Structures are given as structure tokens and as C-alpha cells.
Amino acid sequence: MANIKNIVKVMNFHSLVRVDKAKREANKYSGVEDSLCRILYQITNNTNLKLDKKILLQNEEGINLDIYMGNDLGFCGDFNYKLQKQLKENKNNYKIVIGKKLSSIDDDKILLKIEKRRFLDDYYKIDNLIKEYVYNKKVNEINVYYNHYYNVNDIKFEKRRMFPIDIGTYDDVDLNVDFVIETDVNELISNIISRTICYQIKIFESNSFASENVMREKITNESLDKLNKLEEEKRIHDLKEKKEESFRKQINNYKNTMR
């Protein structure tokens, strides 16, 4: 039991550290995403540029691409249950699966599997895949499914649509700038769109990571309480047995003296 308790303590400690780290990462990526959306708004609405705005629109006959944010480690309750259920329900959609706990699902529509711990190293694979589908107008929708962290008492399973992209409106952006572009403007736009989507994915991944560790922290706390109770029950049981053994010895000694 001592070894189990040590493992749970380690998981509990790491979960506390990771929650704050995940929130900081999400804020960092959010700033980059906003900058990319501003650039995208300025280029696509510029009065001096001629571009095929269809690249921003969905191809209704294209594929639906789902991204599922799971995890690698245990001690986090039903974190993956709704993800697994949704993944199986969306059997006709193509998928990107993140996390070991989801990778065991057999589905011929899964295009890419990535371990959660390798997300930052391998996210370029997601970037390349999204860029290809957006630039070649092969995609209808791109959605992400994950557990959203609002606060320690409020974590919700959510679906967020990332494509077609909602650029927004920026009143402080000058649309009359005369750009000089020495490349295919549509390729440039598709690159920015894929980058924007990938930064959204990073934000959701950081948020999912925070959710995972909040749930893990709660469960490991509950586990530590149960382990402490079991240890206390064992201590009381051992103490009771020790007292009973001492009492038996006293009875035997008394019987021997009476002979």
C-alpha cells in the first residue's frame, strides 16, 4: 500500500503544477491567434488585393474532420468517456486522435494519432494535413472535441468549430494598405488559415490539459483520503489484535499461576 500511496502522491503533485502551466500556455497561444486573425482580416478584406475568397468557405461536398483531445495518463476519471462515445458516433467523419487513451480505438477514418506528451513536437503533422485540405478545398468542416476548463468546479465536454473560420471584425485595421506580394495570395491565405486553426488547436489542447489535471487532482485527493482511511483502519485493526493478543497472554499467565 505504501508504494501505491507514493504513486498517487506523485500524480497529485504533478497535476497541481500542470494546471497553472496549461492556463499560461493557453493565454500565450490566444495572443498569437488574435494576431493571425487580424492579418487574415486585413488581407481578405483589402481593397487592393484580388483573391479567391472561396478558399475561406466550406466545400459542402468535402469531408468533415474531427479532432479529439484525449490524454495519455490515468487517474482522471471519465475524462475520455464522452470523447470515445463521440468518436464512435461520428463514424463517417475523418479524425485526428490525440492521446494514448483514445489510440486503441479501431477506426479506418483516423488519419493521424498523436500521443499527448508529443503534441508540441508533432503538431506540425496536424498543420500540414489541415493546410492540404484547406488549400485544395477538400473540407466541409473542422471540429474539435475536448473537455473545457472553466474553473475547478466547472469542466464541460464541448465541440468547437474551427473551419469555416470566423475571422471577426477589427475597426482599427487599415484595409487600404497596398500590399506587395511575391507569391500566390491564395496559398498565403491557406497558410494563415491553417496556422490560425493550429493555434486554436493549441489553445484547446492547453485547456484540455488543464481539465485533465484538475480531474486528476480531485481523484488523487479522493484516493489519498481513502488510502489514509484504509491505513487508519489497518492501524486500529492491528492495535486491536495486539491488545487481544496481550489479553490472551495475561489470561494464560493467570491460568498457569492457578495450577
The confidence band for 193, taking pLDDT boundaries of 50, 70 and 90, is: confident
For the entire predicted model, the pTM comes to: 0.71
Q: Can you give the pLDDT at residue 63?
A: 93
User: Do 130 and 142 touch, CB atoms closer than 8 A?
Assistant: yes
Phi, psi torsion values for 171, nearest 5 degrees: -70, -20
Residue-wise pLDDT for 98-142, tens only, equals: 988 887 788 899 999 999 888 888 988 998 898 888 888 889 999
Q: Can you give the pLDDT at residue 12?
A: 58
3-state secondary structure 108-137: CCEEEEECHHHHHHHHHHHHHHHHHHHHCC
Of the segments 22-36, 91-105, 190-204, which one has the largest average pLDDT value? 91-105
Q: Can you give the pLDDT at residue 209?
A: 83
Task: Report the amino acid identity of residue 67.
Answer: I
* Separation between Cα atoms, residue 199 and residue 196, nearest integer Å: 5
Reference 162, options 201, 123, 135; nearest CA is 201
Q: In the predicted model, is pLDDT for residue 90 greater than 90? A: yes
User: Do 200 and 168 touch, CB atoms closer than 8 A?
Assistant: no
The cell numbers describing 185, all together, are 495570395
3-state SS, residue 48: coil
Task: Report the amino acid identity of residue 99.
Answer: G
What's the rounded mean pLDDT across residues 25-37?
A: 68
Reference 189, options 31, 32, 35, 41; nearest CA is 41
The cell numbers describing 192, all together, are 494563415
Residue with more model confidence, 183 or 210? 210
What's the rounded mean pLDDT across residues 31-53?
A: 67
Q: In the predicted model, is pLDDT for residue 1 greater than 60? A: no
